[in-house]
Chain A
Amino acid sequence: MRVTFERSGGFAGLMLTTSLDTATLPPSEANQLRQFVQAANFFQLPTEMSSASQPDRFQYDIAIDDGKRHHAVRVGESSVPESLRPLIDWCMEKVRGG
């Protein structure tokens, strides 16, 4: 499973991106990633969940390919579903080098 993650916007307007692949992650982390994706019901999420009305909020672009399916989601910070939050937090840890 391959994941590309991008956070843009915010007051700072930084673009932070990372690409993750379960084939190259340590097995425990790969399992964790699969669990977050499943818990988020990612492949059923709408492609666009916007919060353009709130200035300086973050925008997240997440694309996942599991070999059989490919799905991309764009979501504004204030519209992030609770189920998706752990995946975003985890990706941000990876972006920060965690």
Chain B
Amino acid sequence: MANRHQKHRHQNRCTRLTHHVCPMCCILPPYMSDQIILNGDATQKEWALRTVRASERFRGRREAVGMVNFSSAIAGEKRRTIFDAETGTDLPGKLVRGEGDPPTGDISVDEAYDGSGITYDFFNDIFERNSIDGYGLRLDSTVHFDRKYDNAFWNGSQMVYGDGDGELFNRFTISIDIIGHELTHGVTQYEAGLVYRGQPGALNESMSDVFGSLIKQYSLKQPADEADWLIGAGLLTDKISGVALRSMKAPGTAYNDKVLGKDPQPADMKSIYTGTADNEGVHINSGIPNRAFYLAASEIGGNAWEKAGKIWYVALTERLRSRANFRRAANATIAIAGELYGIDGDEQKAVRNAWKTVGVIA
């Protein structure tokens, strides 16, 4: 499986270089940057990196390095960069903290820095994955985006966090699983590429919740039965009646509030949402695969990231394609559980039981 994995990565990378040379055009000719990245020695790669960094500082723009990765030059190292949008909407904003810099005292900046570091460590330590793309992509985050912005998102190349409005939401860096969630959107983009609509979109969302929660559990050293399985705990202000935004353990129960309404997530296929809001319910129907993961991890027992996490990670990186639906995800994870831990072993039974319980398979 290791060889196959490497091969897959290599293909993925070549494709990406072909597609994304444009942001480099203004600095190095694309053929040159490609050659340096693919064939250059460590010094050359570092030179290319420095050149681009210098240009980036000069121009104050992230496009210079954002889409092309120099990381093979310094494999296995995390590189985090935090920007401040200063309540504007231009990205990435002002550079406020780079890798190795001391805390700034701005809690959003420091939470984004620490959270992306824990996320990097998680993927590196558990799955030997070097950053979002597998090649050490620099982790860029912008905080203080817009005014009273009630959201966080992944824009295709970086994380973006709002401060919240203070009425309904606190700042979006407050919870490590939100940071893990956003970064996992990056992993999904480079791997399964699940389209962000309908069931594939709900799987995309669920992968972000699964690994976001695992990153929190890993950072707290919590086994499955001690974890809260909540997404966004601490994000809702104390004016709201609710514990979090989503519950993987009990979808539909995270909040019930006069302003926010009730948590709309279904816990099984009988109540799947079929409307058009939210890209056909990507944040709604993610409750179904979320609960399947919780059930599988709980039945397997121990640390959820070790076996259940591994099964889901292999599905995300090697088995699922962009239009996969819940049934395909169920079949893939059941097959992987058998390959990794034995046909009809406890792990495979647990995964099968989980998807049955949520009604995805009969």
Residues of A within 8 A of B167 (CB): 96
Let me know if A26 is at the binding interface, CB within 8 A: no
Is the CB–CB distance between A15 and B264 below 8 Å?
yes
Which of A9, A10, A55, A96 sits near B185, CB closer than 8 Å? A55
Give min CB distance, A85 to chain B, whole Å.
11
- Asked if A29 is an interface residue, CB under 8 A from chain B, the answer is no
A54 to B152, CA, bound (A): 11
Q: Chain B residues with Cβ under 8 A from A55's Cβ? A: 153-154, 182, 185, 196, 204-205, 208
A13, B152: Cα distance in complex, Å: 11
**Taking the complex as formed, is B249 at the interface, i.e. its CB lies under 8 A from any CB of chain A?**
no
Residues from chain A with Cβ under 8 Å of B208 in the complex: 55
Most buried by A among B167, B196, B235: B196
Q: Is residue A23 within 8 Å, beta carbon to beta carbon, of the partner chain?
A: no
A53 in the interface (beta carbon within 8 A): yes
Q: How far is the CA of A55 from the CA of B181 in the complex (A)?
A: 10
Q: Is A52 a contact partner of B197 (Cβ separation < 8 A)? A: yes
Shortest CB-to-CB span from A63 to chain B, Å, is 12
Asked if A9 and B283 make an inter-chain contact with CB atoms under 8 angstroms apart, the answer reads yes
B side interface size, CB within 8 A: 39
Name the interface residues of B196-226: CB closer than 8 Å to any CB of A: 196-197, 201, 204-205, 208
B228 at the interface (CB under 8 A from A): no
- CB < 8 Å: which of B153, B155, B276, B284 contacts A74? B276
How far in angstroms is the closest Cβ of chain B from A36? 19
- Which chain A residues lie closer than 8 Å to B150 at the CB level? 10, 12
Chain A contact residues: over half helix, strand or loop, or mixed?
loop
Most interface-central of A13, A54, A55, A57 (chain B CB within 10 A)? A55
Q: A12 touches which one: B156, B195, B232, B277 (CB < 8 A)?
A: B232
List the A residue with the shortest CB-CB distance to B182.
A56
Write the nearest CB–CB distance from B132 to chain A, whole angstroms: 13
Shortest Cβ distance from residue B282 to the other chain A in the assembled complex, whole angstroms: 7
In the assembled complex, B261 has its CB within 8 A of some CB on chain A: yes
* Interface flags, A12-31, vs B, CB<8A=1, else 0: 11110000000000000000
List chain A positions with a Cβ less than 8 A from chain B: 6, 8-15, 52-59, 61, 74, 78, 96-97
Can you list 21 A-B contacts (CB < 8 A)? A8-B283, A9-B277, A9-B282, A10-B150, A10-B283, A11-B182, A11-B232, A12-B245, A13-B283, A52-B197, A53-B196, A54-B155, A55-B154, A55-B182, A56-B151, A56-B154, A56-B185, A59-B278, A59-B279, A78-B155, A96-B167
- Taking Cβ atoms with an 8 Å cutoff, the residues of B that contact A are 150-156, 165, 167, 169, 172, 178, 181-182, 185, 195-197, 201, 204-205, 208, 232, 235, 245-246, 259-261, 264-265, 276-279, 282-284, 286
